[in-house]
Amino acid sequence: MTDLNPTRRTVLCAVAGMSVLPDVPQNALAQTPPSHTALSVTLRINGADIARPIEVRTTLLEFLREQTALTGTKKGCDQGSCGACTVHIDGHRVVSCLTLAARCQGHEVTTIEGLAQGDVLHPMQAAFVAHDGMQCGYCTPGQVMSAVALVKEGHTGTDDEIREWMSGNLCRCGAYPNIVAAIRDVADHTPARG
């Protein structure tokens, strides 16, 4: 994941540095308006290649929500603090609001829409339904993506460990106990790694 490390913030700064920002309004018309190079990217999302022209500063979250129909990934804060936008990149969980779309080329992106096999829910999705690990459902895609990754990471030793490693995903409806129960259920039915 090292090549995904630059955050949106650092890249935004770089972009701002490169362009001419109109900080003196009265001279504005004489200045070159900032231009954000359009890039043509091809991202591999849920097993399909999606090619789009984008502005360099487009986050993966914006790419998914605004430039494709993949609105299952949610925007809760756009600042990396709520986890609603969690997706998998090469099987690892990341917050897509702090990930630049352009940096995802050559990687496998999986979103909530890519989890089920057709109509058959992923076991974690089924467990969330069975344990009612949701209310409004807005944090749910992010919770499910985090939960799937967490089981793979092996952080299900105790319920407290699950709680700790799920604490990057906020749920204002307070579905936490049911989410823990869903994860516990899946973990108990998942063969240990290795």
Partner 1 sequence: MSEQTNTIGHAIDRVDGRLKVMGHAKYAAEFANTDVVHAVLVQSTIAAGTILAIDALVARSMPGVIDVITAENAEKLHKAPEIQQAISFPLLQSNEVLFNGQHIAIVVADSLQQAQEAAATVVVRYRPQDAVTSMEGRDGDQRKPSKKLNGKFEIDSATGDFSSAFEAAPVKISATYKTPVEHHNPMEPHATIAAWSGDKLKVWTATQGISGTQQTLAGFFGLAENDVTVICPFVGGGFGSKGNTWTPVTLAAMAARHVKRRVKLEITREQMFFSNGYRPQTRQALKLAADRDGKLLALRHDGVIATAMPGAGEFAEPVALISRMLYACPNISTSHRLIDINQSLPTYMRGPGEASGSFALESGMDELAVALDMDPVALRMRNLIDSDASEGKPFASKPLAECYTKAAEAFGWSRRTPAPRSMKNGRMLVGMGMATTSYPTNRMKASAEVAMLQDGTVIVRCGTQDLGTGTYTTMAQVAAAELGVSPDRVRVELGDSRLPKAPVSGGSMTTASVLPAVQEAATAVREALFDMALKAKGDQWHNLDRTALTLDNGAVVGPNSQLGITDLLAQASLPSLSRKVEATPSDEADTFSRHAFGAQFAEVHVDPDFGTVRVKRWVGAFDVGRVINAKTARSQLIGGIVFGIGMALMEETRTDRASGRFANANIADYLIPVSADIPDINTIFVETGDPITTRLGVKGIGELPTVGAAAAIANAVYHATGKRIRDLPIRLDKVMA
Contact (Cβ atoms closer than 8 angstroms) between residue 97 and residue 85: yes
Token pair belonging to 188:
């108990």
User: 67-86: which residues touch ligand FES (CB under 6 A)?
Assistant: 75-78, 80-85
The residue from 6, 33, 91, 137 that contacts ligand FES (CB under 6 A) is 137
The listed partner (ligand FES, partner 1, none) that binds 125, CB under 5 to 8 Å by sort, is partner 1
Token pair belonging to 11:
């890249």
The residue from 58, 86, 99, 156 that contacts partner 1 (CB under 8 A) is 58
Contact (Cβ atoms closer than 8 angstroms) between residue 173 and residue 135: yes
Binding of ligand FES by 131 (CB under 6 A): no
Q: Minimal distance in Å, beta carbon 109 to partner 1?
A: 14
Q: Enumerate long-range contacts of 63-67, CB under 8 Å, 24 or more apart.
A: 63/101, 64/96, 64/111
Binding of partner 1 by 173 (CB under 8 A): yes
Phi, psi (rounded to 5 degrees) for 142: -65, -40
R_g of the chain, CA atoms, integer Å: 19
Choose the stretch contacting partner 1; rule: CB under 8 A; options: 88-96, 99-107, 132-140, 186-194.
Answer: 132-140
Side chain identity at residue 107, one-letter code: H
Binding of ligand FES by 135 (CB under 6 A): yes
Q: Which residues bind ligand FES (CB under 6 A)?
A: 75-78, 80-85, 95, 97, 134-140, 171-173, 175
